[in-house]
Amino acid sequence: MKFAFVFPGQGSQSIGMMNGYVDLPIIQETFQEASDILKQDFWSMVNSGPVEDLNLTVNTQPLMLIAGIAVYRAWISLGGAKPALLAGHSLGEYTALVAAEVLSFADALTLVRFRAQAMQHAVPEGIGGMAAVLGLDDEIIRTVCHDITQQCNGESLEPANFNSPGQVVIAGHKNAILQGMEMAKSRGAKRAVMLPMSIPSHCSLMKPAAESMQQQLEGIALQSPKIAILHNADVKSHSDALSIKKILVQQLVSPVRWVDTIHAFAVAGMTHVIECGPGKVLIGLNKRIDQSLQQLSLIDSETIKQAVSLR
């Protein structure tokens, strides 16, 4: 068994998502550590909500980092081996950086809180957005985005997430998205759906956030990864601090190349991909990308114990 770990990002959060792990003390200990660092009660939020708080970007990003690291620590504490490769979907890349010992947990928490605030401030509410386009070839979507950007006087539309074959998320100005959805449907898309997100992630509208992150990263110490990470923006692993900082800045304005990432795992000889964190969002995508890879999800303490016993 040669396995990679993947860490989920925004969109996997839900009230009660940690209920399946309550018999593992390290889970609540990790939440307490994070709450002490950020001076906010994340354990109460994840258990009681309200859902509006849970879904605020400035809360969701640290919350998903905490959840991913809590589950990873539980895996290690139960005797799980270190993975051969890591990746994280968007925000999940920061969870991977902590697991690879590139970033300390404390630095990662303050960094993702800053990242969320920078993303929120980059584009005023109501100006941008994101939409999922289903059942259309990637190249056609690229062409649609290009054509709409040419037509929409000063507004932009770009692919933001290549999530799985036939599922691509587009991002940009709201008017450009609405026109892009209609054009995508006219060119064969099965569906095009606006996502409940006001932040147009992973596109050029995030340039102000990328510039802020670049400055913020200058004051943070990064170590060489103990486990190789495939980064969203270029699907490569980087070993020096300068390159990692550069690729984290680039991530904000570049599409998440998830399809390429899962294919790269297969090429690297992985046999299993394990989703480390609550939910099964990534497993659903991964199964549609490469059926030769075994997919597991650590959604509760029982699944962690079962996965640890695999050899």
The predicted-structure confidence for 121-157, as pLDDT tens digits, reads as follows 999 988 999 999 999 999 999 999 999 999 988 999 9
Mean pLDDT taken over the chain: 96
Extract the tokens encoding 206. 């995030």
| pLDDT band at residue 231 under the 50/70/90 scheme | very high
Lowest mean pLDDT across 151-155, 184-188, 220-224: 151-155
Q: Is the pLDDT of residue 197 over 90?
A: no
Provide the pLDDT for residue 11.
86
Radius of gyration of the chain (CA): 19
Provide the pLDDT for residue 269.
98
The overall pTM is greater than 0.95: yes
> In the block, which residue shows the tokens 């309550």?
22
For 294, other C-beta atoms within 10 Å of its C-beta total: 14
Residues acting as catalytic residues = 90, 202
Provide the pLDDT for residue 198.
80
Provide the pLDDT for residue 196.
84
